[in-house]
Amino acid sequence: MKLELPLQILSEGNFGNIIHHDVYQCLLSFLIACFLSIISIPIIINLSNLLHLTAKPGFRSSHETETPTLGGIAIFAATLIAYFLWPHSENILDSNLISLAMTGVIILFFLGIKDDILAVDPTKKLIIQIFASLILVAMGNFKVDNFYGIFGIHDVSDFISIPLTVFIFIAIINSINLIDGIDGLAGGISLIAGLGFGIWFILNDHFSFGCLAFAMSGSLLGFLRFNFSKTSKIFMGDTGSLIVGYLLSIFSVEFLTLNVGYQHDPNAYFNAPIIVMVLLIVPIFDTLRVFIVRIFKGGSPFIADRNHMHHILIDSGLNHFWASFTLWMATIVNTTLFFAFHGDITNTASLYVYIGMFASYMIIATVLKRRVTSRKRKRNLAKSPSFNDDTISASKKLFRRQ
């Protein structure tokens, strides 16, 4: 691990050179992105209100007033400006990957803006997401080609790795989009994951990706200040969720790629796939559960409803902050516990544990959902004109007999 503070620079008093140190550049990118996000969002809010570019409350909404949805513009601009302030890695491969990544980010930026303003057909959105992913996968040879011994599998061919990597991109992009249903959830989870990846990149001298992760995290921190505001609220919209999901996909695949040498590199993680899955445990679990519930009920997995965990927590009585905080802490606690207890357990065994955690998550969500449904029924009965004291007494007698 090669993280060295520039003590020699400090001792010589040459403070001007601190700004050229890679670690400080990453930290400055975080702070600058946060600052740019904070100063630009009020302008976007005013323009959105002036042009009536706001989201109206609906049956799935957790807000009661029209709210601007173009916060993703600030996230996009703040991230890119803060990142490109500095010259980055001289590694040609890293530079090429970052260039291709920026191309994909820009494509999804315009897709998100159009979707936030005019709405885009889901099939077209999926096609464009696949195209943006293939730019990196095909042109940058950017793919997951090792299974880290899961089920005894290590290296895999392009016939498997290319579709798998595209699937990872699409899954993460849309899972971030799907959890963007209450204040602070998508932004907070992405901030935690971005910092997690960014710290590892910096500690292992991959400063280009570390700086990009920190810039994205800083822009999200600035966004959260307004996302929780009561007087100047804004949503990230599809513009933000698509960009953030795409960047998290890039960090995930790069993290997996760089850790393939775990057998020879003491700083690499042999359980990198599980680390990615734990860092993104909330969007992964929530998306899987919602799809399973919708299919089990005989509906389409792509038709929106209020079955997300954040909806259940809100309906259980939590406000937006505490619902989001609960899921933030689920990410932090599970990640901490994994690093504390994973030991030398194989990735296959870790995957089984992960599946067991998902089963527990399904049970918890089901119990909470039934309680919410039961409360709603009681409220509706209480409001019913025919629901009087005689009805209550008769119900009690019937209950005693049973």
Across the strands, what pairs with 155?
146
Question: Which of 293, 20, 311, 263 shows the shortest CA–CA distance to 148?
Answer: 263
C-beta separation of 248 from 256 below 8 A: no
CA–CA separation, 56 and 138 (whole Å)? 40
Identity of the amino acid at 57: P
Q: Which helix (H) or strand (E) holds 68?
A: strand 67-68
C-beta separation of 274 from 255 below 8 A: no
Number of CB atoms found within 10 A of residue 219's CB? 39
Which residues neighbour 267 within 8 Å (Cβ) at sequence distance 6 or greater? 1, 203, 204
CA–CA separation, 128 and 115 (whole Å)? 12
Determine whether the annotation assigns residue 238 to a binding site.
yes
Determine whether the annotation assigns residue 388 to a binding site.
no
CA–CA separation, 259 and 267 (whole Å)? 8
Residue-level length of the chain: 402
Across the strands, what pairs with 67?
55
In three-state secondary structure terms, 123 is helix
- Main-chain phi, psi angles of 146, to 5 degrees: -145, 135
Q: Which helix (H) or strand (E) holds 54?
A: strand 54-55
The tokens describing 311, both together, are: 């909806």
Number of CB atoms found within 10 A of residue 301's CB? 11
- Residues 361, 272, 340: CA angle, nearest 5 degrees: 65
Q: Please return the burial class of 328, using the count of CB atoms within 10 Å of its CB with bins 0-12, 13-18 and 19+.
A: middle
Write out the binding residues for Mg(2+): 177, 238
Write out the binding residues: 177, 238
